Amino acid sequence: MYKLFTDKSEVFECSINLEGASLNKSVARILIESKDYNLVFNGSINSNGVCKIPIKKLKGLLPENSKGNIKLEVIAEDTYFTPWDSTYSVDASKKVTVEVKQQEKKIIESKPKISVKEIKRNLETPESIHINRLAKIFIKEDINLLNLPKKKYRVGKIIEIYTKRYPINSIAPENLINGVLEKLWSTNE
């Protein structure tokens, strides 16, 4: 059973292997079916087959303890697939410890072929939010690992302005710096 939350956004993530069609022209979405209506969350598939679909907080949309079906839908060129489905339940995150283990996978075999390899949940932490924001600012300012030493004054100013706007007292500076460097490293690959 897949857990959804009323008070926490999350990212549904899985790996997709698509045969006979282009990943670049494919679309992925999560369909959450409830008793009264359906919710659809659109996502993306990158060139490596990693599918990420942000799922917003469900407060006001689905009540706690509600249950139903959740499906991953993929449209590859002119072919529609439902390569994964499961039941879900809605809960509040403050009441639950979430540890996702391998969930039930159902694969529909037809042409072109598609398979779901793994499912990950990314619950954003305050640390990851700050890392993502700073990395986006650095990328927007054209700061990367190659020119970082040359732009150290600009980096210092960005961090000074950022920390005034968003206090980061609860985060170790070395974790923040390492996280931003990892993000910048991944954009250079």
What pLDDT score does 29 carry? 92
Question: What pLDDT does 30 receive?
Answer: 93
Pairing mode, strands 38-45 and 26-33: antiparallel
Q: Is there a cis peptide before residue 112, judged by omega within 30 degrees of 0?
A: yes
pLDDT tens, 55-76? 998 888 888 888 999 999 988 8
Q: Which pLDDT tens digit goes with each residue over 84-127?
A: 999 998 887 765 466 766 666 665 555 677 777 777 766 677 78
Residue 11 near residue 69, CB atoms below 8 Å: no
Phi, psi dihedral angles at 142 (to 5 degrees): 60, 40
Measured CA to CA, the distance from residue 112 to residue 26 in angstroms comes to 12
Torsions phi, psi for 175 (to 5 deg): -65, -40
